[in-house]
Amino acid sequence: MLSLTILCTGKALPSQRVSSDELDVKLGALPGFCRSKSGIDFRYVAAPGETQSGLAAAALRDAMRRGRCEAASIDLLLSVSGVGEQALPSTASRILEPAGLPAGTPAFDINASCLGFLAALQLAASLLASGTYRRIAIAASDLASRGVDWDNPEASLIFGDGAAAAIVEQGDARTGIDAFRMETHPAGNTLCEVRAGGTRRNPRTGAEPADYLFRMDGRRLFRLTSELMGGFVERLFSGLPYGPGDVDIVIPHQASHLGMEHVRKRLGIRPEDVVDIYRQHGNQVAASIPTALHEAFAQRRIFRGTRVLLIGTAAGLTLGGMVLVI
């Protein structure tokens, strides 16, 4: 086990709550269309003046308040997002000041799309084990609404904005990461992407406005994920004396209502053992898993000794999973 303990968690949501009924009106769709396509009752969307770093800072302040954790006690900040606030500087550097962390605190970004929080937990645990840091804050945030194409319901209706945070320290011999695995399969590179914003497509290389919007081939993505998920789960649990059915609670990436149900069935997990916040949040990209983790703590579904399975997929195509003993 890689030692780790979660001291506290927090979350933050934008000011605007948008129901699927309201989206029906906005898009000129028949009543019930957006709910049937997305499986969402409502999601939160950032107003023009709200920023990604501001939401991340609010989530981190919420975590510090809940855990009675002083900002000065945090000696590293990891920012996680699928799409950052801007190309340069890092989103992490823009979170420090509004979060109240002292100037000089090291901060950098991690980008593993929807699975960035898992990568950040693994990195944090490794850094804590090395003695490099003693207390690490992870802030995950995404504003998916800024890049959705409303002309494509499949690739737009499932998303919501938000942020979540966790503050971690080195654990004892009973708490930590029992298993961690990530696999990236480049066959899925073009199935889920925002083409512009980097060096590949920009104004100097002929980028078009649509290149800055999210696009997804849902059917091919679902098919590839289905082919890979079974073997991935076997490899994730291969070194453990127990299997997926022996975990106490499952926190999947809240990708879509159909995707989550597929993962649950493949794992053989009962519905009541899955943390499902999708209908009230949508897919929050990198903020999805940590927001669901925070809700599990807030609802007292997690306690000392709980085995938690965090699992999901991300652009790339990447599959990721972590077995965490709280």
3-state percent breakdown (helix, strand, coil) of the chain, nearest 5: 40, 25, 35
Q: What does the alpha-carbon distance between residue 215 and residue 325 come to, in Å, rounded to a whole number? A: 36
The reported pLDDT for the residue numbered 154 is: 84
The string of DSSP codes covering 115-176 is: THHHHHHHHHHHHHHHTS-SEEEEEEEE-GGGG--TT-GGGTTTB--EEEEEEEE---TTSE
Distance of CA 145 to the CA centre of its chain: 15
- What pTM, to 2 d.p., does this model score? 0.97
Helix intervals (H) in 177-239: 218-237
The reported pLDDT for the residue numbered 155 is: 87
CB of 159 within 8 A of CB of 83? no
3-state SS, residue 214 = coil
Q: What does the alpha-carbon distance between residue 47 and residue 44 come to, in Å, rounded to a whole number? A: 10
Query: Locate tokens 């993962």: which residue?
Result: 263
The reported pLDDT for the residue numbered 195 is: 95
Distance of CA 180 to the CA centre of its chain: 16
How many Å from the N-terminal Cα to the C-terminal Cα in the chain?
12
Rounded (5°) CA angle 126-127-128: 90
- Domain extent listing, the chain: 2-172, 177-325
CATH number (3.30.200.20, 3.40.50.720, 3.40.47.10, 3.30.70.260) of 177-325 reads 3.40.47.10
* Residues 6+ positions from 290 with CB-CB distance below 8 Å: 9, 11, 80, 117, 138, 140, 164, 165, 166
3-state SS, residue 110 = strand
Q: What does the alpha-carbon distance between residue 3 and residue 136 come to, in Å, rounded to a whole number? A: 14
The reported pLDDT for the residue numbered 142 is: 98
Residue type, 11: K
CB of 316 within 8 A of CB of 189? yes
CB of 153 within 8 A of CB of 20? no
Which superfamily, per CATH, for 2-172?
Thiolase/Chalcone synthase (3.40.47.10)
Q: What does the alpha-carbon distance between residue 224 and residue 241 come to, in Å, rounded to a whole number? A: 29
Rounded (5°) CA angle 149-153-155: 60
Q: What does the alpha-carbon distance between residue 259 and residue 270 come to, in Å, rounded to a whole number? A: 15
3-state SS, residue 217 = coil
* Bridge partner list, 255: none
The reported pLDDT for the residue numbered 173 is: 84
pLDDT tens-place values along the chain, 326 residues long: 999 999 999 999 999 999 999 999 999 999 999 999 999 999 999 999 999 999 999 999 999 999 999 999 999 999 999 999 999 999 999 999 999 999 999 999 999 999 999 999 999 999 999 999 999 999 999 999 999 999 898 889 999 999 999 999 999 889 999 999 999 999 999 999 999 999 999 999 999 999 999 999 999 999 999 999 999 999 999 999 999 999 999 999 999 998 999 899 989 999 999 999 999 999 999 999 999 999 999 999 999 999 999 999 999 999 999 999 99
Closest CA to 3 of 209, 134, 173, 245: 173
